[in-house]
Amino acid sequence: MAIADSAAWHATLEAMGNAPGKQRCRDALTPGAGPVCVTGASGFIALHLVKQLLEKGYTVVATVRSTRDARKMQPLMDLQIKFGSDKLRIVGGVDCMKRDTFVPAVDGCVGVFHTASPFHFNSQDPLNDLVLPAEQGTLGCLEACLKVGTVKRVIITSSFAAMFNPGGYPWDYTYSSKDWNKIHILMIKESSQNQSQHTDTDTPKLSLRKLHGTSLLHQIAHLT
């Protein structure tokens, strides 16, 4: 995949803006609008997200790949005890490499926060161990949202790696929402064009937004 020249690169970023794509859902997704789903709910950011959503009165469906690790599950179980099983439903078996497992989790939800993605430092093959599950999980989540027909808004978390340009900027450079990894942005542009063609004809009420790292927690306040 060729990397665009500097002028075309900056033009692409300016055209995308901070929230690229059509804003299909303009309705306020209040707690009364329906439940929201958080994938990968045992993760660090996801746990904070689930807690804040519950505190704001939302009904949350929290997905995990496995419920067998008691230590990882305990924080979610504590939240379920505190807020009640009617406000927090935990769904196990949702696996990024098994795309159809997302369907029962997002069914009936009006909003989805997709945070599930494997990350660790033990991989000898990061493309297959980390990148492929991240890609398949995101596709599986989006396909499930389109299939069930109830989801109006999807927020996808990403990584600083999607913004980082090693060697391109000094180490003390301050990154912003206009900075993207050049290879990453071209892949996303191509993929989003294909997805846009699909959603424009099949499901015109699904809004997609991509956030990086802890900026997601700030966005909860703007969900409504």
193 found inside a domain: yes
Range 75-80 average pLDDT: 97
Q: What's the pLDDT score for residue 188?
A: 55
Q: Is the pLDDT of residue 213 over 70?
A: no
C-alpha 117 chain-centroid distance = 9
Closest to 116 (Cα-Cα) out of 89, 103, 97: 97
25 found inside a domain: no
24 found inside a domain: no
19 found inside a domain: no
Q: What are 12-31's pLDDT values in tens digits?
A: 656 655 555 556 666 778 99
Q: Is the pLDDT of residue 178 over 60?
A: yes
151 found inside a domain: yes
Within 8 A by CB and 6+ apart from 84, the residues are none
DSSP state of 93: -
Q: What's the pLDDT score for residue 187?
A: 58
Phi-psi region of 171 (alpha: psi -120 to 50; beta: other; left: phi over 0): alpha
Give the chain's domain count: 1
**CATH number of the domain that 98 lies in?**
3.40.50.720
10-24, 49-63, 81-95, 209-223: the lowest-pLDDT one: 209-223
Structure tokens at 40: 């990968």
Q: Is the pLDDT of residue 122 over 70?
A: yes
219 pLDDT tier (thresholds 50, 70, 90): very low
Sheet with strand 207-212: strands edge to edge:
88-91, 60-63, 36-39, 111-114, 153-158, 207-212
Q: Average per-residue pLDDT in the chain?
A: 78
Structure tokens at 26: 């303009």
Q: What's the pLDDT score for residue 17?
A: 57
21 found inside a domain: no
Q: What are 98-115's pLDDT values in tens digits?
A: 999 999 999 999 999 999
42 found inside a domain: yes
Other beta carbons within 10 Å of 153: 24
Percentage of the chain beyond pLDDT 70 is 67
pTM of the predicted protein model: 0.72
Domain that holds residue 47: 32-163+175-222
Check residues 165 and 148 and name the one with the higher pLDDT: 148
Range 136-144 average pLDDT: 92
Other beta carbons within 10 Å of 82: 12
* CA distance linking residue 87 with residue 180, whole number of Å: 37
How many CA atoms are closer than 13 Å to the CA of 159, on its beta-carbon side?
15
27 found inside a domain: no
11-15, 83-87, 142-146, 188-192: the lowest-pLDDT one: 188-192
Q: What's the pLDDT score for residue 206?
A: 58
Q: 161 vs 86, 157, 179, 182, CA distance in Å? A: 37, 12, 11, 11
